[in-house]
Amino acid sequence: MATNDSRILIIDDEPAICWGFRKLFESEGYVVAVASSVEQGLQLTMGESFDLVVMDVRLPGMDGISAIPLLQEATENAPVIIMTAFGDLETAVGAVRRGAADYLTKPFSLDEAVRVCKQALASRRSGSVAGANKLHPPVGTIVGRSAPMQQVFKQIALVADSDLPVLITGETGTGKELVAAAIHRHSSRRDCQYLPVAPVALSTELIESELFGHAQGAFTGATQAKVGIFEHASDGTVFLDEIGDLPLAIQVKLLRVLETGQFTRVGEVKPRVCNVRIIAATNCDLPASVQHGQFREDLFYRLNGMHIHLPPLRQRCSDIALLCEHFLSAMGYPESFQVISAALAAELESRPWYGNVRELKNAVSHAAVLGRNRELTIADFPPPQSVIQAKHKEEDLIEQTVLQWFRRVVKEMEEGSRAAGTLHQSFMQSFEPFLLRQALEYTRGNKVRAAEILGIHRATLRDRLKLDQENLPSTPSDNGD
C-alpha cells in the first residue's frame, strides 16, 4: 500500500515523462519531486529526503548509471530505478552492479511502473535493497529488447555475483550456453576458467572420467592419470549442458560436488576438493523426469538454486528483426545490407521458428548468400523446418495459431478496419464455433453429451449453435435434443 509520507524523486530531461510520473504517483498517494538532470536532483536531496529515485539513463551532464552511487549516498541508500530505451544486457548488468534496485525499459506501461516502484519501496522498508557494486564491461553477445528478454537480462544481472548454482531451461536453440557464459563473465570468477561440457554424447565411464578425472591404471587404456573438468575449472565455472540426460550414476557424484565440494577420481579412494560454480542447462522437463525416476529429486533442488527460463523465439517475435541485423553485422555485411524492412519482419514474425534463434541464424546466413548485398526479401529465406515442426508439441502449434490470429486482428484494429475493444468477442466468434463442432462430432451429434464435455448447459449450447452459420453434424431426434 502506498503511504502519504513516501517521497519519490523523478529525474528525466523529458518534461512529458516527469509530468506523467508526477500525476501517476500523486494519484497513488506519494509526494513527488522532479528534476531534469542528476545535478539538479542532487541539489533537491540537500533539502528534502526521498524514499525512491526513478531516473533516466541518458541525461544532460552525468549519466544515470554513473549517478546511482551518488544518489544512494545522498538519499541514505534509497532504491534507484533506472529508465532506459536501450534494454540490453550491459545496461541491465551495469545498473544492477552500480546498485539499482530495478530498471524499466521504454516504452513501459503505467501498471508496470507502479508495480516496480511499489516493490522497490517495500524492499526499502524491509531493508533488502542491494548495495552498489563495481561496474563490469559488457558482454554484448545476447540480443533482445522484448519484455521476456528484459526479464532474462535482469536475472543474469542479479545472479552473476552469487555462487549459487543456476539452472537454465529452454527449448533447443534459445541460447542457453550464451546465458551461462554471460553469467560467468559478469561474476567474481570471471578471471578463472569457464569450461562448458555436454556429456550426453559420452558413455557413463567416459563422462565420469571427463568430469572427475582418473588415476593411472584405473581402467583398460588409462595409461596415465587424467585431470577432470572440475579440477581444471578450479575457482571458475563449469557449465553442464543437457543435464537432464546425465546418467543416474553420475548424478550421484555431481550431487556430492554440490553438497560437499568434493569428488573422487576414477580409481582413487581419497576425495579431492574443488571450488567451482555449477551452471546447468536442459531442454527437458526435469520435474517430469524426477517423477519418472530418471532424475534425482535431491540433485534437481540443488541445481535449481537460481532458475532462468529462456523464452522460445515465437514468444519474443519483436526481437526477430533485431537479431537478423545483428547476425548480418556479425557476418561482416555492410550496414546498408543489414536493414530488415517492415514487410520482411512481418513475414518472419509469422513463422513458428521451432529451432529458435539457432534456426533463425541459419536462415539469415542462407538469405545473405542469396541476397548478394541487396535488400533481403522473404524469398531469400529457406522454408520453415518441417521436421522440427512435426516433432513439436501440439499445444505449441495451437499457441502459434492463436498468436498469428492475435497479431492480425490487432493490426486490423490499429488500421481501423476492425472496431477497437472487440478482441475477446472476435476470439470467441472465430474459435468457439470450431470447438462446438468438434464436441458434436466427437459425440456423434449428441448435444446433451457435447454440453457435458464442454461444461456448459444444453440450452447455452443450443443458443451458441444458432450463431454459427456453418454446417453442423445432424443430430438424431431421439438422442438428447
Nearest CA to 300 out of 339, 248, 264 is that of 248
Confidence of residue 103 (pLDDT cuts 50, 70, 90): confident
- Residue 427, pLDDT score: 79
For residues 22 and 470, which has the higher predicted lDDT (pLDDT)?
A: 22
- Residue 396, pLDDT score: 60
- Residue 307, pLDDT score: 95
- Specify the residue for cell string 569450461: 195
Contacts (Cβ under 8 Å, ≥6 apart) of 314: 352, 353, 354, 396, 399, 400, 403
Nearest CA to 434 out of 452, 417, 454, 419 is that of 454
Confidence of residue 235 (pLDDT cuts 50, 70, 90): very high
Confidence of residue 399 (pLDDT cuts 50, 70, 90): low
Average pLDDT in the chain: 82
SS3 of 94-116: the string is HHHHHCCCEEEECCCCHHHHHHH
**Can you give the CATH number for the domain in which 48 is found?**
3.40.50.2300
Listed residues 341, 367, 391: the one ending a domain: 391
- Residue 201, pLDDT score: 63
Question: Is the Cα torsion angle 130, 136, 142, 145 positive or negative in sign?
Answer: positive
* pLDDT score of 269 more than 90: no
- Residue 166, pLDDT score: 97
Do residues 298 and 320 share a domain?
Answer: no
478 within a domain of the structure (yes/no): no
SS3 399: helix
Among the residue ranges 290-304, 364-378, 415-429, the one predicted with the least confidence is 415-429
pLDDT digits (tens, 9 = 90+) for 52-74: 999 998 888 888 888 888 888 78
Listed residues 391, 418, 438: the one ending a domain: 391
- Residue 391, pLDDT score: 52
Question: Is the Cα torsion angle 172, 174, 178, 180 positive or negative in sign?
Answer: negative
232 within a domain of the structure (yes/no): yes
Q: In whole angstroms, what is the distance from residue 300 CA to residue 191 CA?
A: 28
In the predicted model, what is the mean pLDDT of residues 344-356? 91
200 within a domain of the structure (yes/no): yes
374 within a domain of the structure (yes/no): yes
Do residues 325 and 246 share a domain?
Answer: no
Number of independent structural domains in the chain = 3
Do residues 123 and 173 share a domain?
Answer: no
How many Cβ atoms from other residues are within 10 Å of residue 224's Cβ?
A: 8
**Can you give the CATH number for the domain in which 377 is found?**
1.10.8.60
292 within a domain of the structure (yes/no): yes
Amino acid at 61: G
pLDDT digits (tens, 9 = 90+) for 310-339: 999 999 998 999 999 888 888 777 777 778
Percent of the chain with pLDDT over 70: 88
In the predicted model, what is the mean pLDDT of residues 229-236? 90
Do residues 241 and 349 share a domain?
Answer: no
For residues 152 and 94, which has the higher predicted lDDT (pLDDT)?
A: 152
- Residue 472, pLDDT score: 42
In the predicted model, what is the mean pLDDT of residues 381-408? 66
DSSP 177-239: HHHHHHHHHTSTTTTS-EEEE-GGGS-HHHHHHHHH-B-TTSSTT--S-B--HHHHTTTSEEE
401 within a domain of the structure (yes/no): no
Q: What is the pTM of this model?
A: 0.62
Do residues 305 and 324 share a domain?
Answer: no
**Can you give the CATH number for the domain in which 211 is found?**
3.40.50.300
- Residue 297, pLDDT score: 95
What is the extent of the structural domain holding 99?
7-151
DSSP structure class, residue 336: G
* pLDDT score of 214 more than 90: no
Burial pattern 414-435, b for ≥16 Cβ within 10 A else e, equals eeeeeeeeeeeebeeeeeebee
Do residues 169 and 305 share a domain?
Answer: yes
Which residues pair with residue 197 across a beta bridge?
240
pLDDT digits (tens, 9 = 90+) for 85-97: 766 677 777 777 7
427 within a domain of the structure (yes/no): no
pLDDT digits (tens, 9 = 90+) for 427-467: 777 778 878 888 888 888 888 888 888 888 888 888 887 77
Among the residue ranges 4-8, 90-94, 158-162, 470-474, the one predicted with the least confidence is 470-474
Listed residues 347, 376, 391: the one ending a domain: 391
Confidence of residue 206 (pLDDT cuts 50, 70, 90): confident
For residues 365 and 417, which has the higher predicted lDDT (pLDDT)?
A: 365
What count of Cα atoms within 13 Å lies in the side-chain half-sphere of residue 227? 7
Asked if 353 and 312 count as a contact pair (C-beta separation under 8 A), the reply is yes
Do residues 146 and 171 share a domain?
Answer: no
169 within a domain of the structure (yes/no): yes
Do residues 210 and 247 share a domain?
Answer: yes
Phi-psi region of 389 (alpha: psi -120 to 50; beta: other; left: phi over 0): alpha
Do residues 342 and 292 share a domain?
Answer: no
* pLDDT score of 140 more than 50: no
In the predicted model, what is the mean pLDDT of residues 246-252? 92
Q: In whole angstroms, what is the distance from residue 362 CA to residue 381 CA?
A: 9
Do residues 301 and 321 share a domain?
Answer: no
Among the residue ranges 101-105, 167-171, 201-205, 275-279, the one predicted with the least confidence is 201-205
Question: Is the Cα torsion angle 365, 370, 376, 382 positive or negative in sign?
Answer: negative
Burial pattern 154-163, b for ≥16 Cβ within 10 A else e, equals bbbbbbbbee
Confidence of residue 395 (pLDDT cuts 50, 70, 90): low
* pLDDT score of 247 more than 70: yes
Do residues 303 and 258 share a domain?
Answer: yes
Do residues 235 and 343 share a domain?
Answer: no
